C-alpha cells in the first residue's frame, strides 16, 4: 500500500533541482519587476496571480511536457479567465459553489478543444470566480495581465533553457538532430500518437518525444546485447589488401574477382596507410578512356606509352575508421548508422588484422536474435 501511495517520480538530480529552482525564481522575479515598472505609470494595471507560480513549475521543471509549451501557457491562462468572466456576467445569481464547478469544468473543456491544456488554467478559472468582487469590475482588461505575464514567463523560459543547453520549444514533425538517435524506428508518427492515446499519455508526451525515447531504448538494448561481442570475433580475417605500389590494373582485377567496394592499402609492416575505392578506380579508367577518344589519329600515333605505371598510391585515400580487436561491437553501431563507411579496419596495435562491414554486423545481430 505504501508503494502505491508513495512517490512515483524518480529522484531528481542535484543539477536538475538547482536548475529548476533558479529558473522559476528568475522568471517570477522578472515578471514582478515588470509589474513594478508598469505600476509607476499605470497603477494596478498588472498584478501577479497565484496560478503563475504553477506555470513556472511547468516551464522550468518539466519543459519537455506539452502542457508547458508557450501556446499552452499563454492561451491556457488567458482563455479560462475570459470564459469565467462570461460565465459571471451571464449567470450573476448562481451560487459561488455552482459557479466554481462550471468555471473549472468548462475551462478544462475549452482548453482541450483548443489543444491548450494547462493545469494552472483551472486555477485561473477558480481564482476569477472566488475573487469576482475584485476582478469583475476590471472587465476585459483582466485578460491583459493573464496573457502578458504568462508570455513574460515563457520568454524567460526560452532564453533560460537555451542558455542551459536544454530543449524547451517543441518542433512539430521534426526532432532536433542532437536528440535524434541514429536508430530508425519502424513506427510512423500516427503509430506513436496511437500509442500515446492507448496509454492516456497524449498530454504528457509528444509523438516526437516518444519516438526519441523508444529509439534510444532500442539502441541501448542493442548495445547492451552486443557489448560482450568484440570486433575481433566479428571481423573478416581473410584480408584482400594491396600495397602502395600495386598497379591499378591489378587492383581492377581484384575488384572484379572479389566484388568488394574498397580495398585497404598496407605497407611492408602490415600497417594500414590508406584505402582504394572501386568508384575512384572506375573514374580513373573512364577519364583515361575519354581522353583517348578525344584524340585524333595523328595524336594517337604520336602518343607514347607512359614511362611510369599508375599504382595504388596515386588513387589512395586516407584511412576512414579503425578499431582495436578488443573494442566492443556495440560501440560501432552509432558510427555505422551515421557514416557511409565501406569497412571498419580492425587493428592489433598498428597492424591490420581484419575488417568489419555492415554484412558482418547484420550477421551478428541475426545470430544474437536466435
Closest C-alpha to 59, from 180, 149, 173, 171: 149
* Cell numbers describing residue 309: 605505371
Give the per-residue pLDDT at 132.
92
Residue 76 CB-density burial (10 A; 0-12 exposed, 13-18 middle, 19+ buried) = buried
Q: Which of 164, 199, 215 lies at the terminal end of a domain, its last residue? A: 164
Q: Same structural domain for residues 14 and 160?
A: yes
d(CA 271, CA 350): 6
d(CA 343, CA 322): 9
Give the per-residue pLDDT at 94.
93
Q: Same structural domain for residues 135 and 270?
A: no
Q: Which of 164, 179, 214 lies at the terminal end of a domain, its last residue? A: 164
Q: Cell match 600495397: residue?
A: 243
Specify if 188 maps to a domain: no
d(CA 135, CA 5): 38
Specify if 151 maps to a domain: yes
DSSP letter at 230? B
5: left (phi over 0), alpha (psi -120 to 50) or beta: alpha
Q: Cell match 585524333: residue?
A: 296
**Global confidence as pTM:** 0.56
* Cell numbers describing residue 31: 515578471
Sign of dihedral through CA atoms 226, 231, 232, 237? positive
Total domains in the chain come to 2
Q: Same structural domain for residues 159 and 257?
A: no
Q: Same structural domain for residues 14 and 151?
A: yes
Give the CATH number for residue 324. 3.10.580.10
Q: Which of 164, 190, 222 lies at the terminal end of a domain, its last residue? A: 164
Q: Same structural domain for residues 149 and 240?
A: no
Give the per-residue pLDDT at 180.
46
**What residue ranges of the chain have pLDDT lower than 70?**
1-3, 8-9, 171-186, 202-204, 226, 228, 288-308, 333-340, 368-370
Specify if 213 maps to a domain: no
Per the structure, the complete domain to which residue 279 belongs is given by 231-298+307-369
Specify if 52 maps to a domain: yes
d(CA 240, CA 234): 17
Amino acid at each position: 500500500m505504501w508503494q502505491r501511495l508513495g512517490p512515483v517520480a524518480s529522484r531528481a538530480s542535484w543539477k536538475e533541482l538547482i536548475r529548476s529552482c533558479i529558473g522559476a525564481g528568475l522568471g517570477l522575479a522578472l515578471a514582478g519587476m515588470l509589474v513594478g515598472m508598469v505600476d509607476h505609470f499605470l497603477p494596478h494595471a498588472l498584478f501577479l496571480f497565484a496560478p503563475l507560480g504553477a506555470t513556472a513549475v511547468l516551464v522550468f521543471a518539466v519543459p519537455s511536457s506539452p502542457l508547458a509549451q508557450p501556446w499552452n501557457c499563454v492561451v491556457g491562462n488567458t482563455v479560462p479567465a475570459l470564459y469565467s468572466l462570461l460565465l459571471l456576467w451571464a449567470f450573476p445569481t448562481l451560487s459561488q459553489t455552482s459557479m466554481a464547478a462550471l468555471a473549472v469544468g468548462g475551462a478544462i473543456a475549452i482548453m482541450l478543444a483548443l489543444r491548450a491544456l494547462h493545469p494552472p488554467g483551472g486555477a485561473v478559472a477558480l481564482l476569477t470566480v472566488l475573487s469576482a468582487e475584485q476582478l469583475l469590475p476590471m472587465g476585459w482588461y483582466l485578460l491583459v495581465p493573464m496573457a502578458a505575464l504568462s508570455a513574460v514567463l515563457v520568454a524567460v523560459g526560452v532564453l533560460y533553457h537555451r542558455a542551459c543547453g536544454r530543449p524547451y520549444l517543441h518542433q512539430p514533425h521534426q526532432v532536433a538532430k542532437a536528440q535524434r538517435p541514429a536508430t530508425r524506428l519502424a513506427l510512423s508518427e500516427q503509430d506513436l500518437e496511437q500509442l500515446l492515446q492507448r496509454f492516456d499519455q497524449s498530454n504528457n508526451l509528444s509523438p516526437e518525444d516518444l519516438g526519441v525515447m523508444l529509439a534510444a531504448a532500442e539502441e541501448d538494448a542493442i548495445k547492451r546485447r552486443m557489448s560482450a561481442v568484440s570486433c575481433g570475433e566479428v571481423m573478416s580475417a581473410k584480408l584482400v589488401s594491396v600495397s602502395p605500389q600495386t598497379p591499378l590494373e591489378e587492383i581492377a582485377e581484384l575488384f572484379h574477382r572479389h566484388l568488394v567496394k574498397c580495398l585497404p592499402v598496407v605497407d611492408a609492416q602490415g600497417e594500414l596507410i590508406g584505402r582504394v575505392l572501386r568508384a575512384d578506380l572506375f573514374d580513373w579508367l573512364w577519364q583515361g578512356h575519354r581522353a583517348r577518344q578525344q584524340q585524333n589519329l595523328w595524336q594517337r600515333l604520336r602518343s607514347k606509352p607512359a614511362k611510369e605505371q599508375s599504382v595504388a598510391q596515386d588513387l589512395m585515400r586516407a584511412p576512414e575508421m579503425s578499431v582495436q580487436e578488443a573494442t566492443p561491437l556495440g560501440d560501432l553501431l552509432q558510427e555505422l548508422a551515421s557514416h557511409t563507411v565501406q569497412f571498419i579496419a580492425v587493428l592489433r596495435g598498428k597492424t591490420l588484422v581484419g575488417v568489419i562491414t555492415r554484412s558482418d554486423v547484420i550477421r551478428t545481430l541475426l545470430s544474437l536474435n536466435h
